Amino acid sequence: MPLNFLSTPIDYLAGIGPERAKLLRSELHIHTYGDLANLFPNRYIDKTKYYKINQLVPDSAQVQILGKIINIKTAGSGKSERLVATFADETGRMELVWFRSQKHFRDSLKINEPYVAFGKVARYGSQYNIAHPDLELLVDHKSRKQSAMTPVYPSTEMLAKRKVTNTYIVKCMRKLFSEINGAFVETLPDDMREHYKLIGKNEAMLNVHFPTTPELLKHSIYRLKFEELFFIQMELLLQNRIRKTKIRGYVFDNVGDKFTDFYKNHLPFELTGAQKRVVKEIRADMGTGAHMNRLLQGDVGSGKTIVAVLTALLALDNGFQACIMAPTEILAQQHYSGVSELLEGTGITVSLLTGSVKTKARRTIHEELEDGTLDILIGTHALIEDKVKFKNLGVAIVDEQHRFGVAQRAKLWKKNELPPHVLVMTATPIPRTLAMSLYGDLDISVIDELPPGRKEIKTVHRYDKNRLAVFGFIRDEIALGRQIYMVYPLIEESEKLDYKDLQDGYDSIVREFPLPKYKVSIVHGRMKPEDKDYEMNRFVNGETQIMVATTVIEVGVNVPNASVMIIESAERFGLSQLHQLRGRVGRGGDQSYCILMTGHKLSANSKTRLDTMVATTDGFKIAEVDLKLRGPGDLMGTQQSGVMDLRLADIVKDNHILAIAREAAQKLLAKDVKIEKPEHAGVKRVMSFLQNKKGLWKYIS
């Protein structure tokens, strides 16, 4: 059978005409035999087990029961009329109910004959029932060859409407596998399958659709998940290897005056052990001549900015420029203020470029950038505009990079003949599982230590009924000279959403904390930039004690005197956002607090988020919970979802398989880096296919 057999258009499979082929293409993206073979079941109906009536539980999945019909009656009237059969076994009784075709069933059902009833169990009062069960005489059931596990495939409303049922897809799948007859080429080498106890590709593919036993289904699913994750890891590890061996980077082997002078004379505090380790890793990277592509993870307040500055100084010492790109003007401004303050008195030039920089100042920046008199440029997307030209960009530092698309980052890399070294920073801790899949081609550094003297922020959950007590606590903190944040999810009241809105909150706070004793700032995204800056600065300078705001203060505000963060309608925020907001306090030496305010009606997920926030301030633990609640696609945004287009595996639930698959990929590359050995021909074939699909983007992390 030719190897391209699986590329045969789906139209050619017996039983699928042009109309249904069109439907399968539009609804399930099934174009070829191979696409259909890779449409895996969502679940299975297990017909290997028979339940007793006393083993049933409410809302259980579909079950199969052996018993006899001992009575038939009609109940209800009008639209609620139904046929009810009492079904019994030696452990108890239940009801079988029909709302349609009542005459047919009344005439055909046999009293006191053994039947097999199959369907979804419900419970009304103390009585279990199955509506419209599949019912078969036991004698017929035994004479027919049973499929142990019936697959249930993904479907859509349109497919159901056009009578493309699960039964139809099962029939097509049976036809396909009778034609395929072992057409799948083995992709994993024999020694790997033996070591990791993986069944063969053809056996796995057949049994994932038509398993003969639950045990064989388990082995088939494991094999196919392993394969998916293995090839993702192979791709990422190869990209990393290619980058280090083929993509040249500038050699920064000189630790010169700028770095040394700053470290000895201008560094305002002793670096933590974690910061020193990370700087050492970056220095080693940039000194090799290979291209650095490193992800720096650090929780809120862990001190990533100082690492960014030291990285930039290494570039400057080697005759190059540096840039720091942030996703928002507020964050870019914050970086600019922080970096300028740190480098004051060093003679190093720093400029800020954002969309709101005036034309005259912009022209000056462009000139200084091109003639090399500007050392460090900090900014937003404005940095990637075509007219922004560096004399020699040596390192690009990207903050909160998941907010930038691949194409945007690529523009920055093309500012030079050789790509600049890249340091990607995030204050959103990424669980190891996700990092291995999304950033497996990057080297990862973690700042897992907070600066000394930082006190852990105390977090509590309070309901609206506790509001007066919370106001009392705010007064006490203000009396001690502290400042307060109050964050709201909405700007104006919504008819559909019953949440505290910003304006209503501001009005009640002003009433509760009146002038002249108290002063309140208000900041939200719809304000003019100058008004926003005015209010922000009043709070930063201590002229106002309370800042009422939306999430614009999530990043970019550093007020060491602010000791309380109150988050209204906290159930409306994601875990990552709650953690970021909490990180706005706790920046000074005083004990800080985060108060999560909610109504009484909370979903299970909301309760989990709030309980997690109260239980820990560890960003990595919070990220693990967030990943379980939201899934990888939501967590990282759509621009990172390409690597997550998995058919079977789930990187959260299958993280143990992911770790084993990565280990297998590392072992294979360690002994056959070019994937040339005959026993790795299957791996080579898949890798060539994947690389042809991806093109040049695979080099840009």
Give the pLDDT score at 309. 96
Q: Which of 328-332, 339-343, 410-414 has the highest mean pLDDT?
A: 339-343
What is the pLDDT, as a whole number, of residue 1? 38
* Contact by Cβ (8 Å): 571, 543: no
Torsion-angle region of 400 (φ positive above 0: left; ψ -120 to 50: alpha; else: beta): left
Q: What is the pLDDT of residue 580?
A: 83
Q: What is the mean pLDDT of residues 439-446?
A: 74
Residues carrying CATH 2.40.50.140, the chain: 48-146
CATH architecture of the domain 48-146 equals Beta Barrel (2.40)
Cα–Cα distance for residue pair 131/84, rounded to 1 Å: 9
pLDDT for res 371: 93
Q: What is the DSSP letter of 290?
A: B
CA distances in angstroms from 211 to 48, 143, 648, listed in the order given: 11, 20, 16
- CB burial readout 577-603, b (16+ within 10 A) else e: bbbbbbbbbbbbebebbbbbbbeeebe
pLDDT at residue 490 tops 50: yes
* pLDDT for residue 695 is more than 60: no
d(CA 46, CA 61): 10
Neighbours of 12 (CB within 10 A): 11
Contact 433, 304 (CB under 8 A): no
pLDDT at position 696: 32
Q: Which of 115-119, 431-435, 576-580 has the lowest mean pLDDT?
A: 431-435
pLDDT of amino acid 32: 92
- The residues near 290 (Cβ < 8 Å, ≥ 6 apart) are 243, 244, 245, 247, 248, 249
Cis, peptide link before residue 9, omega less than 30° from 0: no
Q: Which fold has domain 3-41+154-207?
A: DNA polymerase; domain 1 (1.10.150)
pTM above 0.75, yes or no: no
**Confidence tier at 543 by pLDDT (50, 70, 90):** very high
- Please, what is the Cα angle at 150 between 144 and 151, to 5 degrees? 150
Q: Which pLDDT does position 525 carry in this prediction?
A: 75
Mean pLDDT of 373-378: 95
Q: pLDDT tens digit string along 413-432?
A: 677 677 889 898 887 777 76
- Let me know the angle formed at the C-alpha of 54 by 49 and 56, rounded to the nearest 5 degrees: 60
The rounded distance, in Å, linking the Cα atoms of 535 and 559 is 13
Whether residue 699 has pLDDT greater than 50: no
Q: Cβ–Cβ contacts within 10 Å for residue 514, how many?
A: 10
Q: Where is pLDDT greater, at 412 or 342?
A: 342
- CB atoms inside a 10 Å sphere around CB 610: 22
Determine the pLDDT at residue 643: 43
Q: Would you say residue 554 has pLDDT above 70?
A: no
Lowest mean pLDDT among 99-108, 284-293, 499-508, 681-690: 499-508
pLDDT of residue 50 exceeding 80, the answer is yes
Position 315 scores a pLDDT of: 95
Closest listed residue to residue 426, CA positions, set 446, 410, 456 = 446
Tens digit of pLDDT for each residue in 475-485? 999 999 999 99
| Phi and psi, residue 542, nearest 5° | 80, 15
Report CA-CA distances (Å) from 219 to 192, 205, 216, 224, 606.
Answer: 15, 11, 5, 9, 36
Residue span(s) of the chain under CATH 1.10.150 come to 3-41+154-207
447's torsion region: left (phi>0), alpha (psi -120 to 50) or beta?
beta
Structure tokens at 414: 């093309």
- Cα dist from 628 to 63, 400, 402, 434, 469, whole Å: 29, 21, 19, 11, 34
* Alpha-carbon distance values, 108 to 72, 80, 88, 101, 521 (Å): 11, 22, 18, 11, 77
- Token duo for residue 538: 């009043």
The arithmetic mean of pLDDT across residues 664-668, rounded, is: 94
Q: Assign 654 a pLDDT band (cuts: 50, 70, 90).
A: confident
Residue 298 pLDDT exceeds 90: no
More confident residue, 386 or 695: 386
3-class SS of residue 378: strand
What percent of the chain is predicted at pLDDT more than 70? 88
**How far is Cα 365 from Cα 347, in angstroms, rounded to an integer?**
17
Mean pLDDT over each residue of the chain, to the nearest integer: 85
Helix (H, G, I), strand (E, B) or coil at 11: helix
Which residues neighbour 369 within 8 Å (Cβ) at sequence distance 6 or greater? 321, 377, 388, 389, 390, 391
Contact indicator for 467, 568 with CB cutoff of 8 Å: no
pLDDT at 212: 82
Beta bridge partners of 598: 463
Q: Give the tens place of pLDDT for each residue, 79-136.
A: 888 899 999 999 999 999 988 778 888 888 999 999 999 888 888 878 899 988 888 8
257-286+303-426 has which CATH code? 3.40.50.300
Q: According to CATH, where is 3.40.50.300 located in the chain? A: 257-286+303-426, 458-616
243 or 88, which is more confident: 88
Q: Which of 206-215, 361-370, 428-437 has the lowest mean pLDDT?
A: 428-437
CA distance 475 to 513: 8
Cα 139 to Cα 68: distance, rounded to the nearest angstrom: 13
DSSP letter assigned to residue 175: H
User: Which distant-in-sequence residues (6+ apart) come within 8 Å of 497 by Cβ?
Assistant: 490
For 640, the token pair is: 């990172």
Over the stretch 206-221, which tens digit does the pLDDT of each residue have? Answer: 999 999 888 999 999 9
For the ranges 284-293, 415-424, 440-449, 589-598, the maximum mean pLDDT occurs at 589-598
Residue 146 pLDDT = 56
Q: What average pLDDT does range 517-526 have in this prediction?
A: 88
- The pLDDT assigned to 639 comes to 34
Question: Could you tell me how many residues make up the chain?
Answer: 701
Q: Please give the residue that has the higher pLDDT: either 59 or 466.
A: 466
551-554 long-range Cβ contacts below 8 angstroms, 24+ apart: 551/487, 551/489, 551/577, 551/581, 552/330, 552/523, 552/524, 552/525, 553/485, 553/487, 553/523, 553/581, 553/584, 554/580, 554/581, 554/584
What is the distance, to the nearest Å, from the Cα of residue 286 to the centroid of all Cα atoms in its chain?
30
Residue with tokens 């530092």, as numbered in its chain? 397
Q: What number is the average pLDDT over the span 582-591?
A: 84
Task: Quote the CA–CA distance of 87 and 110 in Å, as a whole number.
Answer: 11
Topology adopted by domain 458-616: Rossmann fold (3.40.50)
- Would you state the pLDDT for residue 196? 96
Q: Tens digit of pLDDT for each residue in 216-238?
A: 999 999 999 999 999 988 988 88
User: What integer pLDDT is reported at residue 409 of this predicted model?
Assistant: 59
**Helical pair 214-245 and 681-694, crossing angle rounded to 10 deg:** 60
Cα(483)–Cα(542) distance, integer angstroms:
8
Condensed to tens digits (0 to 9), the pLDDT of residues 249-260 reads 888 988 889 999
Residue in 683, 538, 561 with CA at minimum distance from that of residue 187: 683
**pLDDT tops 50 at residue 402:** yes
Distances (CA, A) of 579 to 348, 386, 553, 585, 619: 34, 36, 13, 11, 7
Range list of H helices, 516-654: 529-540, 575-582, 604-615, 619-636
What is residue 85's three-state secondary structure?
Answer: strand
Q: Which of 16-20, 180-184, 469-473 has the highest mean pLDDT?
A: 469-473
